[in-house]
């Protein structure tokens, strides 16, 4: 399973945070990308760091899609087809939104730990949806998540 933890949206007040957490997010994503059983081939977790977005819509709850094909409505169809973008199958996707007031009080050096803690909490939704993915080893995934974060000296 490929895991992708990334910052999906920022504003001027949080752009510096994205730069601080990018490398820890990439490391955790890379180390967590392995086989935890069938059911999910991709798990995408987007951290939303824009309070402006929070004012306009709720975070995306966990959703599962059998097939995800990238699209670009702004490109002519012929140009888009030339890009030959991959189609992804069995994708779990959710948004994680921190408490912006708490985040403002967190020292910059601890921002990655705070945000990874919120991402870890969001993985509890996989346990609630265990019936959807009966052979996916959620407990092993969550234990690995915690171990990987701890091994990188990031306390969540």
From first to last of its 156 residues, what are the pLDDT tens digits of the chain? 999 999 999 999 899 999 999 999 999 999 999 999 999 999 999 999 999 888 888 888 899 999 987 776 666 777 667 777 788 999 999 999 999 999 999 999 999 999 999 999 999 999 999 888 899 999 999 999 999 999 887 765
In a domain, 154, yes or no: no
The long-range contacts involving 100-107, CB below 8 angstroms and separated by at least 24 positions, are 100/51, 100/54, 103/17, 103/49
The secondary structure element, H or E, covering residue 77 is helix 77-83
In a domain, 155, yes or no: no
Q: pTM of the predicted model, to two decimals?
A: 0.88
Distance CA 21, CA 111 (A): 7
Token pair for residue 53? 């977005």
The residue length of the chain stands at 156
In a domain, 153, yes or no: no
Q: How many domains does the chain have?
A: 1
């Amino acid at each position: 399973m490929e895991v992708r933890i990334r910052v999906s949206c920022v504003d001027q007040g949080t752009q510096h945070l994205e730069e601080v957490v990018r490398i820890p997010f990439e490391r955790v994503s890379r180390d967590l990308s392995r086989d935890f059983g069938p059911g999910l081939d991709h798990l995408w977790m987007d951290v939303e760091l824009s309070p402006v977005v929070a004012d306009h819509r709720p975070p995306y709850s966990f959703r599962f899609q059998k097939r995800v094909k990238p699209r670009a409505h702004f490109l002519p169809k012929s140009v888009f087809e030339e890009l030959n973008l991959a189609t992804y199958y069995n994708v779990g996707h959710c948004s994680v939104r921190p408490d912006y007031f708490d985040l403002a009080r967190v020292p910059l050096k601890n921002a990655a730990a705070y945000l990874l803690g919120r991402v870890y909490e969001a993985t509890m939704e996989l346990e609630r949806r265990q019936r959807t993915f009966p052979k996916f080893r959620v407990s092993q995934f969550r234990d690995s998540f915690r171990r990987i974060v701890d091994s990188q000296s990031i306390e969540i």
